[in-house]
């Protein structure tokens, strides 16, 4: 069954990299450009996993994570931090909010895949049906 992945990052570049990384897998990637939009999209789409940046306008990643955990409909969704900020303070805050993983930027696509596979099952994308 196709998995839905939400990437919340103000960088269009990172959203593009996440999308291309999961191209070989049976996944649907949805995106949001800030934390507030990310919570809205999460409520609407109910993704299987969320990749979350920290430094973003409107609502930063830590506040977004707190909001996700405080919203019953989406509180149990696994969240992986995908951020350039990996100092002790940030790690401690994310850990208290029960993140499922933490990937420090710069990152490689293989890291995303490997960590995702530890959290949710990923199947290869089925072949495109042949056109008659």
Partner 1 sequence: MSTADTLLKKYQIAAPPENVLRLGKLVQGAFDTNAHEIASIVKADPSIAARVIKIATRGRDIDMDIDSAVVRIGVHQITLVVMTELLMHAVSKTFATMLRLTLEPRDILNPYGDQVVGCIHFKGKATGRVFLRIPCKAADWMVPRFLGKDLPMEPAELLPDVVGEVLNIVGGNFKSNLVDAGLTCSLSVPQVETKTGFATGVQDGEYHLSIPFAAEGMGLFLDLIISPIAD
- Check binding of 36 to partner 1 (CB under 8 A): no
Q: Which of residues 93-122 bind partner 1 (CB under 8 A)?
A: 95, 101-102, 104-108
Q: How far is it, in rounded angstroms, from Cα 35 to Cα 65?
A: 8
**Per CB under 8 A, does 89 bind partner 1?**
yes
Is the bond preceding 106 in cis, omega lying within 30 degrees of 0? yes
Smaller CB separation from partner 1, 10 or 48: 10
Q: Closer to partner 1 by CB, 43 or 84: give it.
A: 84
- Closest by alpha carbon to 68, among 59, 76, 80, 57? 76
Largest CA-CA distance found in the chain, in angstroms, rounded: 58
Binding window for partner 1 (CB under 8 A); candidates: 12-20, 42-50, 63-71, 122-130: 12-20
How many angstroms separate the CA atoms of 33 and 127, rounded?
Answer: 31
Binding site for partner 1 (CB under 8 A): 10-14, 16-17, 20, 54-55, 57, 83-92, 95, 101-102, 104-108
């Amino acid at each position: 069954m196709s998995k839905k992945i939400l990437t919340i990052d103000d960088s269009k570049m990172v959203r593009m990299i996440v999308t291309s990384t999961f191209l070989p897998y049976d996944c649907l990637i949805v995106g949001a450009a800030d934390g507030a939009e990310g919570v809205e999209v999460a409520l609407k789409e109910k993704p299987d996993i969320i990749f979350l940046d920290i430094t973003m306008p409107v609502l930063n990643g830590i506040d977004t994570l707190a909001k996700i955990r405080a919203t019953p409909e989406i509180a149990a969704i696994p969240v992986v931090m995908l951020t350039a900020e990996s100092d002790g303070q940030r790690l401690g805050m994310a850990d208290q909010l029960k993140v499922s993983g933490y990937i420090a930027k710069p990152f490689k696509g293989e890291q995303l895949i490997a960590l995702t596979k530890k959290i949710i099952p990923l199947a290869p994308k089925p072949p495109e049906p042949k056109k008659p």
